Structure 1
Amino acid sequence: MIKFFRKIRQKLLSENKFSKYLIYAVGEIILVVIGILIALQINNSNERSKQRKVEISYLKRLLVDLNKNEILWKDTHTRRKTQVQHIQNTIALNFNKQKDTIDYIKLAENLKFAVTWNNINPTQDTFSEMLSSGNLDIIKNDSIKIKLIALNNNYTSIINWDKTSETTHKRIMQHSEGLYNAKDFAPLSPVFSEYVDIKFAKKDFENAMSALKNSISNMIDNKLVMNNLDVLSDNYHRQLSAFKKLESDVRELNDLIALEIENRADD
């Protein structure tokens, strides 16, 4: 092709047809420019196609993370609400004048659940990767980006808030350490009897029940334990609305991303 154009130029010059040569040269330049523009257009189109594929991949991964977090906030709300209920029922025992009516085994199980600590760890793998790699701007839908950033900030806030609960929980465990001794009433535990091949006598169960009552009573009578339980319960209770809001925000963002993926299916 290059040889073909060169021959034309040489022929025009040899025939002293300078005006035609000039027109031809301009035309050749235009053709070269058009070729470059077409190549750039193709290259840009390929690049946009690659970016769209990366964007859709991120959006699908975000959906996976959001689905996990929706379950997390729902389960956390349920667990914390139940813990508040158990703590308040334990505190209410101070006002129970009929101690003989208390089911100490059930109370011990409820109290154990109430003071079981669970860290809140929302799944943020995809968002963190996008943020650290500078790929957050690859998401073209501004509403999705704004909600992602806001959700991440809310996650950070609730985790920081929960650290105060963790501190209170540690104080409860420290204060109750010498008041609640599980090994004294081990025969009453179904887990203990499942793994230990020992036949307990009636007296063993009676002694274990007595030890359980003493431990529970010591905890209930201890003001430091009860005060910290009350603080923990209050913190948990105030967090419930935040968990519900997070669950709703996650679901809303989930729906928005799913719609974006659906709308981009033909891209």
Structure 2
Amino acid sequence: MEKLPAGKAGKTGKYFKYAIGEIILVVIGILIALQVNNWNIERTDKDREAKYLSTIVLDLKKDLVRLDYLINFRKNRVLGDQKLIQQINGEPINNVTNLAKNVVNSLMEENFSANNTTFLELSNSGNLNLISNDAIKLLLLELEELYKTNNLNIAHETFDYREYISKPASKHLDIEKLFPVFIGQKTVEEQKITIDSFNSLLKSKEYKNGLFIMTIMSSSYIASYEKMKSKSETIIKLIQFKK
């Protein structure tokens, strides 16, 4: 095999080293560019995560206000409905005003609708993995399951309410006459409302069954709302601690 002259061999070695050096520099440049790109993506994801979490906190704080109201509403509803059942079962009616208020309160529908648009956007867009804290993510998923159960319960309660509470009340009462007493604008005397005004309603088996069903439903809602409240408060604390 023919050997290269010493000068040419030296130049070839230098070119080879130069080429290797160039390749190494290109590879280093690519690696740096990839790393910078990864840093940018990571920073962007963290910014997006922070925005999502901030919005989730705002949503949950709104829900907490509503949940507190509904827990109190349901507790009062249970007390009022139980009192009516006791009076239907023979307990003496000593206060017509309270009777009127309990009856009107039994006609009230108050339900919870979650402010979960931000979570649904995260979930439906496949961006739920932006939330880096697994505990927060798990609690949000558990909260969403409670929301779904709540929505199913609303549909069930709405049917029972209309069938067993609203229909008998519409049939046996002058609700327009009772409402001013309920909101405190007029007295039962002014409205000429007496115990006899409620006789036919309190004899209605449908109404009594409706009251019983509503006490069960309201007790179930209270427990569910308390769970939602607890999980919401925990999520808010975790997000604020994360910051």
Task: Report the residue type matching 2:227 in the other structure.
Answer: K
Taking the aligned partners of 1:130 and 1:105, their CA distance within structure 2 comes to 50
User: Which residues of structure 2 form unaligned runs of 5+?
Assistant: 1-6
The offset of 1:74, in angstroms, is 2.2
Query: CA 1:184–1:256 in 2, change beyond 3 Å: closer, same or farther?
Result: closer
Match in the other structure for 1:229: 211
The correspondence of residues 124-163 of structure 1 with structure 2, limited to 5 A, is 124-163=116-155
TM-score between the two structures when normalised by the length of structure 2: 0.86
Q: Secondary structure at the match of 2:192?
A: helix
* Cα contact 1:185–1:209 (8 A) shared by 2: no
Identical pairs, percent:
27
The offset of 1:103, in angstroms, is 2.5
Match in the other structure for 2:14: 20
Match in the other structure for 2:54: 60
The offset of 1:70, in angstroms, is 2.2
The correspondence of residues 105-116 of structure 1 with structure 2, limited to 5 A, is 105-116=97-108
* Cα contact 2:104–2:175 (8 A) shared by 1: no
The offset of 1:159, in angstroms, is 2.2
Taking the aligned partners of 2:30 and 2:91, their CA distance within structure 1 comes to 92
Taking the aligned partners of 1:187 and 1:43, their CA distance within structure 2 comes to 67
Taking the aligned partners of 1:75 and 1:186, their CA distance within structure 2 comes to 21
The offset of 1:153, in angstroms, is 0.7
Match in the other structure for 1:199: none
| Number of matched pairs | 235
Task: Report the residue type matching 1:246 in the other structure.
Answer: M
* CA RMSD across the alignment: 2.6
Match of 1:78 among 65, 69, 72: 72
Match in the other structure for 1:6: none
Deviation >4 Å, runs of 4+: 13-16, 95-99, 183-193
Query: CA 1:98–1:143 in 2, change beyond 3 Å: closer, same or farther?
Result: closer
Query: CA 1:188–1:129 in 2, change beyond 3 Å: closer, same or farther?
Result: closer
Match of 1:166 among 158, 162, 177: 158
The offset of 1:161, in angstroms, is 2.1
TM-score between the two structures when normalised by the length of structure 1: 0.79
Match of 2:238 among 229, 252, 256: 256
Taking the aligned partners of 1:185 and 1:140, their CA distance within structure 2 comes to 55
Match in the other structure for 1:90: 84
Taking the aligned partners of 1:167 and 1:63, their CA distance within structure 2 comes to 33
Query: CA 1:165–1:44 in 2, change beyond 3 Å: closer, same or farther?
Result: same
* Cα contact 1:94–1:220 (8 A) shared by 2: yes
* Cα contact 2:106–2:211 (8 A) shared by 1: no
Match in the other structure for 1:201: none
